[in-house]
Amino acid sequence: MSEIWILLLLLLTAALPVIFVFCWFSFKKSPVTLPYFLVSLAAGVLSLLVAAILQNLIPVLGWNGQSRPFLIFFNVFFRIAFTEELSRIIIFIPLFWVIKSRIDADLSFFAAVGLVAGLGFAMLENAFYGLADINLSLLRAFTAAPLHAACAIRVAVAVFFLTRYPVKTIFLFVFAVLIHGAYNMTIITPGLPSVLSILIGFTALFSSLPFLKAVEKVGA
């Protein structure tokens, strides 16, 4: 198979969750129309770039082969999980400000934007992983995509409540970081079954879906 076909297959595999959600939104006649869907995807891609910049500013501890628990915890929960969730906040704040100035959106709308942005993040990340191993890209489409979608929904809701309920904002953000870190631990820990990462990803996703039905208004 030529490199072009491999690249196209790779991109298609990484985009499968995005295509599924777009079809779901279209069937449900979601207020997240195509323009907002594409903007949300772009926000997810941009947040990945911001996360990469933040992670490059933080040194990888234990580079000399040390594997002490603190070093593992630092790299997994702070350098990776925390920076990736923080990158979503950095992108969501200006994005949501623009959306609020244009439409009277409720909580479910912003949760849906978070869902799509999380999938955009995962799509690009999975494509990069697939450059090394296309089978890994397919696996991550069913594990990392739900995980990033679930965390991005929570972070989107956290930004929604930022000015009114700061405690709730902090709780949702910390919870997203902990979920993300726990998922990463299952990926890097030898001997743990891969089904565990699948369970974490889908459990986190399903538990965040009620936010997509919330009706609280921005100004409520």
Give domain status of residue 220, yes or no: no
Spatial distance between the Cα atoms of 53 and 147, rounded to a whole number of angstroms:
21
Mean pLDDT per segment of 10 residues, for the chain of length 220 residues? 64 83 91 94 96 91 62 90 97 95 90 96 81 63 87 97 93 97 87 85 94 67
Tell me if 209 is assigned to some domain.
yes
**Domain carrying residue 132:** 3-213
Would 219 be classed as within a structural domain?
no
The pLDDT value given to residue 62: 63
Write down the pTM of the prediction: 0.89
Could you tell me the CA-to-CA distances from 11 to 58, 79, 91, 134, 205 in Å, in that order?
A: 29, 27, 24, 10, 23
pLDDT at 7 (0 to 100) = 62
Per the CB < 8 A criterion, the answer to whether 141 and 13 are in contact is: yes
Predicted pLDDT of residue 134: 61
Specify the number of domains making up the chain: 1
Q: What is the three-class DSSP state of 217?
A: strand
What pLDDT does 73 receive? 86
* H or E segment to which residue 89 belongs: helix 83-102
Q: What is the reported pLDDT for 220?
A: 43
